Structure 1
């Protein structure tokens, strides 16, 4: 019989609970009960509920980086990436956009993470900041830099890269 990775189970069960009940609606006792361990055993893996939450954020960032590699996103210097996107045409952009969209929609971890942040962003300023950073600011910033470089290289007409 394979050994359980309790630390990972704690994370995923916490994520599901946070997505359903909100961060404040979940206690360490709730998490331990869902995992099927004693509360004291949970503390052997994580110091606090906040540490679990912070680990969820770090894990999501790592999972997206790993998933991005499978999307075959152009990587490297901005100038080279702009060239790759431009020469790949609209089909490449559609394919990549679709894969990213489906990752956030269908990946069990990513979809629960999005749900958790969507619920909590209205209650907690720090979570709202994280939501904006993950789903809005980072994406717009990346795209604006990329489009600015594509404009500079003559692949796109002069316009506001942010728009």
Structure 2
């Protein structure tokens, strides 16, 4: 099976998952969309789960590439907060906006997010993935960063909520916006990040 065909199966499956949900899509649906027999599809992938695993693997690769591009530390490294804190605030702003574009404008990632949003209440696996990518995962990441800055976990958690909460809400605002109004969502995003960083830097300077 060629790499192009593998890619086509993954892309088609994710398209269906984002529209009908993972549980609402069958292997027959995927085969029909690809205009191949179900038997031909099974020669390449044994199950929807195996296709999903390939999708998750792709997402992990995209995350790593994006972190490297913006010189951001990996979340699993013990010293990631030390590395993060020395990055210029402009780079933090750029990376935060890149993350938002990743989940809204990049086709593959946007469909993955929509699939998780649909499925988060239907299975523990999807709920865990949703939390890891869009809920507690980003919140914990920011909490660790702010803890390094504030030396206080309660304060760090509050700052993380104040920073990530509006970003999380803006995903829904973006999804519900008309095409010609989507740019305004990015204006709101940039204003939020700018104001937050300015306030944080001011508070730190006063201490």
Deviation, structure 1 residue 149: 1.5
Match of 2:83 in 1: 81
Structure 2 portions without partners, runs of 5+: 159-207
Residues 56-115 of structure 1: CA distance to partner in whole angstroms, max 9, x if unpaired? 122212222112222332567335414423xx13x3322211111111111110000001
State how 1:4-153 maps to structure 2 within 5 Å: 5-74=4-73, 77-78=79-80, 80-85=82-87, 88-89=88-89, 91-152=90-151
Aligned partners of 2:12 and 2:34 also within 8 Å: yes
Q: Give the Cα–Cα distance (whole angstroms) in 1 for the partners of residues 9 and 55 of structure 2.
A: 10
Structure 1: gaps of 5 or more residues: none
Change (3 A) 1:147 1:4: closer
CA RMSD of aligned residues (A): 2.2
Q: How big is each residue's C-alpha offset from its partner over 1:125-146, in whole Å with a ceiling of 9 and x where there is no partner?
A: 3211210111122212211112
What is the total number of aligned residue pairs between the two structures?
154
State the structure with bigger RCO (CA 8 A, min sep 6), 1 or 2: 1
TM-score by length of 2: 0.66
Of residues 136, 144, 155 in structure 2, which corresponds to 1:160?
Answer: 155
Measure, in 1, the Cα distance between the counterparts of 2:153 and 2:122.
41
The whole-number CA distance in structure 1 between the counterparts of 2:103 and 2:10 is 18
Residues in 1 aligned to 2:21 and 2:33: alpha-carbon distance in whole angstroms = 15
Asked if the contact 2:18–2:118 (Cα under 8 Å) also holds between the matched residues in 1, the reply is yes
